[in-house]
Amino acid sequence: MTRERWIEVGRIVLTGIIALLYWRELVSIQILWIAVAIGLYPLVKKGALDLIHEHKIGTEVFVTIATLVAVLGGETVAGAVLMVIILIAEFIADLNTDRARASIKSLIGSVPQVAMVRTTSGDRVVAIATLKVGDVVLTRAGEQIPVDGTVTGGQASVNEATITGESIPKEKIAGARVFAGTLVEAGAIDIGAEKIGGDTTFSRIIALVENAEAVQAPVQKLADRVAAWLIPIVFVFLIVVYLLTRDVRMIVTLMIFTSPAELGLATPLVMIAAIARAARSGILIKGGLYLELLAKVDVMVFDKTGTLTANKPEVVRIESRSPKFSEMELLRLAAAADRRSAHPLAKVIVENALRKQIEVPEPEHYEQLQGRGAKARIEGHLVLVGNAALLVENNVAVSAEVEGGGQTPIHIAVDGQFAGVIYIADALRPRARETLTHLRESGVKRIIMLTGDNIATANAVATNLGVDEVRAGLMPEDKVAAIAELQKQGHRVAMIGDGVNDAPALARADVGIAMGAGGTHAALEAADIALMTDDLGKIAVARAIARRAYRTIQENLFVGVGVVHVLGITAALLGLIGPIQAAVIHLGPDVLVFVNSVKLLRVRIEGAA
């Protein structure tokens, strides 16, 4: 409750009391007129400003005209009561809108205003505004991190929910990245400042979410257009009714129910609430436009590497081709041969062996063969680890059946005999298959993978995940063409990629969704929707929020506006209700629309914060 809000309360109470006193014949009609003028002032002011700057006629203009018609037509008390009730409705509307906007500002919290800076002369507290890139900031348990940067010392458990939407704290040690606005729950760390003030990811997130309100959804624009052409029709209708009935009371009643203002109120509050709810979950939706489009999407297109897969190779299976060696023994020998290699696939084998707590011996002799693999002597055995060409060049027969299948085979030979194969493949994202299932259940008809990788690898991933269609060996321009082709077929297409590399395709799609945008400014700018983590499940959450928001808008328009107003107009024409009853009834759809919209901040949505 701000000072302005208390003034509103005072104005409503004053007007109501004077209307009551006049009704009891305790004050003169002149005093009532003054009270009406005081009550009308904010409505007239807001209505005039909307009319001048936005060329929009809202509730304020309708209520002002209705009140003046009532007063001048002899229904003075009815006009005053009508105005008081509408002022109460406007007050409730403003409070609920402020609440939704406040949730945006509070969804992440606030960056501290001071920081502890470490210097050669000791630690000192300085204002955030005076920090410079390169300063080392100490942040302790219970404090929020004030800058984006890298941990230079100490250890801490940091809750990054304000950036990623994930509530489970992450352990931070020297070399780890941290973000402004996140909370140190335990420990203490020194942070080398890399981004400060408005350049931090935290600040950019807040700016994007706050600006999202300005990007209107098509249904919101439609409501505004309908309201614009409905107004002259309403006035013609009222004039005809007056000419037929000469009933001022009925005209005032009809004016209350024919106001198209609720059309404009039915969508903005929903969009604000939905965008705030998504942001709490680490999903940045840049406007109501993309929220509505995501709700209507029927085809989702995924990049493979870094999106459906983690772009992190791992050992997926081991095949022994010799009775002398078990799978674990084969892995032990391969890891020993590769332990000195810098090749990425060699590192994967060594890491897998260590993860399984296998003791990896030091090779007695080691030789790395460029483009082939490695040759090593281990415990008296000559071990070859690499591709098929390495074994063929050393007169080792290789089985052709191990090739292909979308996995990379690492051949192993021991003492001139083919011993087995270790298969390496890019790891799938956790919950990837589950996410695609949820998307299909939400109405997505086709899920397509577009990748620059080879067809065998792409098909292997697609089979594991249940992808409907695969297009492999694509250049960036080919992905754009594929999306354009789908759009020509009448589909609404969402493209999901890992940010900058997929920027052209993200831009071409109806909705571009960038994964893992936390800390990546280019990804934040490139996409219409940015997921702050690499969690594929967030896509299903974003879709669920979008569909719930769109359904809420439909409920607002049908029940809150359509049903109540149609019934109200019918009752007024039949003479069943007057202005005061109409004003009370009119309060109903207003409150209904606001409550129905704001509940989006708290209603249960699976996976949403």
Q: pLDDT by residue (tens digit) across 10-67?
A: 888 888 888 888 877 888 888 888 888 888 888 788 778 777 776 666 667 767 777 7
CA distances from 374 to 116, 147, 382 (A): 51, 45, 11
Q: What is the pLDDT of residues 244-269, one digit of tens each?
A: 988 888 888 887 777 665 666 667 77
- How far, in Å, CA of 450 to CA of 393, rounded? 37
Whether 556 contacts 598, CB under 8 Å: no
Reply yes or no on whether the pLDDT at 217 is more than 70: no
Catalytic (active site) residue 303: yes
Task: Please give the residue that has the higher pLDDT: either 165 or 535.
Answer: 535
Reply yes or no on whether the pLDDT at 489 is more than 90: yes
Reply yes or no on whether the pLDDT at 277 is more than 90: no
Q: Average pLDDT, whole number, for the chain?
A: 81
What does the DSSP assignment read for 235-280? HHHHHHHHHHH--HHHHHHHHHHH-THHHHHTTHHHHHHHHHHHHH
The whole-number pLDDT of residue 301 equals: 94
Q: What percent of the chain has pLDDT over 90?
A: 18
Catalytic position from the list 135, 148, 190, 303: 303
- How far, in Å, CA of 132 to CA of 126, rounded? 11
Of 74-78, 209-213, 283-287, highest mean pLDDT:
283-287
**423: nearest Cα among 412, 407, 406, 399:** 407
The whole-number pLDDT of residue 152 equals: 92
**509: nearest Cα among 527, 524, 536:** 527
Q: What is the pLDDT of residues 127-172, one digit of tens each?
A: 888 888 888 999 999 888 888 899 999 999 888 766 766 667 888 9
The whole-number pLDDT of residue 298 equals: 94
Other Cβ atoms closer than 10 A to 51: 14
The whole-number pLDDT of residue 568 equals: 84
* C-alpha triplet 206, 207, 213: angle, nearest 5°: 100
Q: Round the CA-based radius of gyration of the chain to a whole number and report it.
A: 33
SS3 447: strand
Q: What is the pLDDT of residues 349-361, one digit of tens each?
A: 999 999 999 988 9
- How far, in Å, CA of 332 to CA of 361, rounded? 8
Q: Which two tokens stand for residue 131?
A: 């920090």
SS3 110: coil
What does the pLDDT average to over 89-112?
61
The whole-number pLDDT of residue 378 equals: 92
What does the DSSP assignment read for 360-382? -PPPSEEEEETTTEEEEEETTEE
Domains and CATH numbers, the chain: 3-105+210-270+547-601 (no CATH), 114-197 (2.70.150.10), 285-310+429-545 (3.40.50.1000), 311-427 (3.40.1110.10)
Task: Please give the residue that has the higher pLDDT: either 258 or 511.
Answer: 511
Instruction: Please state whether the predicted TM-score (pTM) of the whole model is above 0.85.
Output: no
Beta-strand pair 122-127/136-140: unpaired
Q: How many CA atoms lie within 13 A of 110 on its CB side?
A: 8
